[in-house]
Structure 1
Amino acid sequence: MFIQPYLFFDGRCDEAIEFYRQALKAEVVMLMRYGESPEGGEQCQGGATPPADKVMHACLQIGQTQVMMSDGFCSGKPEFKGVSLSLTVADDAQARRVFDALADGGQVQQPLIATFFASSFGMVADRLGVSWMVVTASADAP
């Protein structure tokens, strides 16, 4: 079994892709726009056709993980409630760089600090509203 995050950005997917390329050095594995779907393809709620230039499906490689994303079905402002993506990094310097990049234009929920379970741990909601936990496991952490 395999679980893979799939995020819906409701019209801001291109912005998200560029942000994660810069902040997390993400690589675009695939990108398909609604205009590339066959006739009679996806429709928004209420039967409207999504704009052809919007992202129907994309896949980003972030480290060892693939994150799927889309503009979704035209429902408005994206909401990411009750979920957070946990990003484990190699060292404290990388934790600081990634945390600061995600925090740019976002909201720090827990500043990056040393804890009993990690040499660096912090929580941030990025500028798109996605919550992240950045962690560097300490050598003596369980």
Structure 2
Amino acid sequence: MLITHIYFNGNCKEAIELYKDALYAEVKTLIEDSDSGLIIHAEMIIHGELLMLNDFGNNDGISKSGGYQLCLQFENEDELKSAYSKMEFESITINPIQFTDYSPCTVRFEDRFGVNWAFWV
């Protein structure tokens, strides 16, 4: 099993709340540091897949989405557009919502936490 793990360096709680709202993600595990309130370890289920998150891990203190993106396939365009509309605030559009040869509706963007996403139907 291959599991993606993302470091948020202080924004993990905010990211969890956004993903719960936009993607109907389910939080399986949430361990918080009692002193700082930062997330030590969290696990979420998004579209049936496990994603691990926390606020620690990068030695340089920077969490950037270098060399990967999270891809989600939706059942229909309405579902995709609903999720994207909740996540697009302060995001950077890489490819706008569009028709392609492989999908009637797709969009690529970097969310406000620096995580790259690709949504398609």
Residue 73 (structure 1) shift: 3.9
Q: Does 1:105 align with 2:90?
A: yes
Aligned residues: 120
Matches within 5 A, 1:1-142: 2-35=1-34, 51-73=35-57, 75-136=60-121
Asked if 2 retains the 8 angstrom alpha-carbon contact of 1:112 and 1:120, the reply is: yes
Unaligned runs of 5+ in 1: 36-50, 137-142
Q: Provide the secondary structure at the position in 2 that maps to 1:119.
A: coil
Query: Could you say which structure has the larger radius of gyration?
Result: 1
Asked if 2 retains the 8 angstrom alpha-carbon contact of 1:99 and 1:112, the reply is: no
CA distance in structure 2 between the aligned counterparts of 1:80 and 1:114, rounded to whole angstroms:
25
- Bigger drift between 12-21 and 69-78 goes to 69-78
TM-score by length of 2: 0.91
TM-score by length of 1: 0.78
| Amino acid corresponding to residue 123 of structure 1 in structure 2 | R
Asked if 1 retains the 8 angstrom alpha-carbon contact of 2:68 and 2:116, the reply is: yes
- Identical positions, percent: 25
Residue 52 (structure 1) shift: 4.0
Residue 25 (structure 1) shift: 1.4
Residue 65 (structure 1) shift: 0.9
Asked if 1 retains the 8 angstrom alpha-carbon contact of 2:8 and 2:53, the reply is: yes
Residue 76 (structure 1) shift: 2.7
Residue 101 (structure 1) shift: 1.9
CA distance in structure 1 between the aligned counterparts of 2:57 and 2:50, rounded to whole angstroms:
21
Asked if 2 retains the 8 angstrom alpha-carbon contact of 1:5 and 1:67, the reply is: yes
* 1:61-119 deviation line (CA, Å, top 9, x unaligned): 11211110010147433211111000101011111112222212211110111111111
